[in-house]
Chain A
Amino acid sequence: SQQGEEDPQALSIQEGENATMNCSYKTSINNLQWYRQNSGRGLVHLILIRSNEREKHSGRLRVTLDTSKKSSSLLITASRAADTASYFCATVQRGTGRRALTFGSGTRLQVQP
């Protein structure tokens, strides 16, 4: 079963705007990762944040993690049409093995040119 939910389920913005996606999870985690998926293809790893970190940046991406609320957010700044994809958060649950990823339900992002 899925670890948690992401919201919004779908997001449509104009090029140049920022996109924020939120993820909630249910159990204690080792780390949380964000992945992008273009149209039913493979997943592309974007960023990993460990449970003892609160914020991480990578290029136009900013991820925050609040373990007390069991939630994370992904911010994409100055979005581009090429950012159109589905975005998933995935957690590694503490005690289940380092690589058993549990995914959220995903956010479908549409960036209008």
Chain B
Amino acid sequence: KAGVTQTPRYLIKTRGQQVTLSCSPISGHRSVSWYQQTPGQGLQFLFEYFSETQRNKGNFPGRFSGRQFSNSRSEMNVSTLELGDSALYLCASAGAAEETQYFGPGTRLLVL
């Protein structure tokens, strides 16, 4: 089975712009979660989608949003980028009955 894929792998944006990141889960997985990793705050949960519905949300401002499509692929959007949004954004997928999450390679976002 192919693993979790994320595109793009690297991205450079400027303050005020918006960005969309994409995640394709492992085939058959319906749960997709997003995490942000920064040197200062570490790894933090953003949100989880299951069958196109947001099931859980972390403590992030409304500028961070996401969605999931019928094929379980997910996108994450960050609007009005700030310098502090520079981070590695990780996507993880899981099967319906699984507790283990499988992570993608991440998208490294740099905001200038």
List A residues at the B interface (Cβ < 8 Å).
1-2, 30-31, 33, 35, 40-45, 48, 88, 90, 92, 96-106
Contact = CB atoms under 8 A, between A and B. Distances in A.
Nearest to A102: B45
Given A40-B88, A43-B90, A106-B42, A98 B104 contact: no
Interface string B20-35: 0000000000010101
B79 interface: no
Interface of B: 4, 31, 33, 35, 41-45, 48, 55-56, 58-59, 88, 90, 92, 94, 99-106, 108
B106 A101 contact: no
Given A31-B99, A42-B90, A99-B101, 8 more contacts: A1-B44, A2-B42, A33-B101, A35-B103, A43-B92, A48-B100, A99-B99, A101-B33
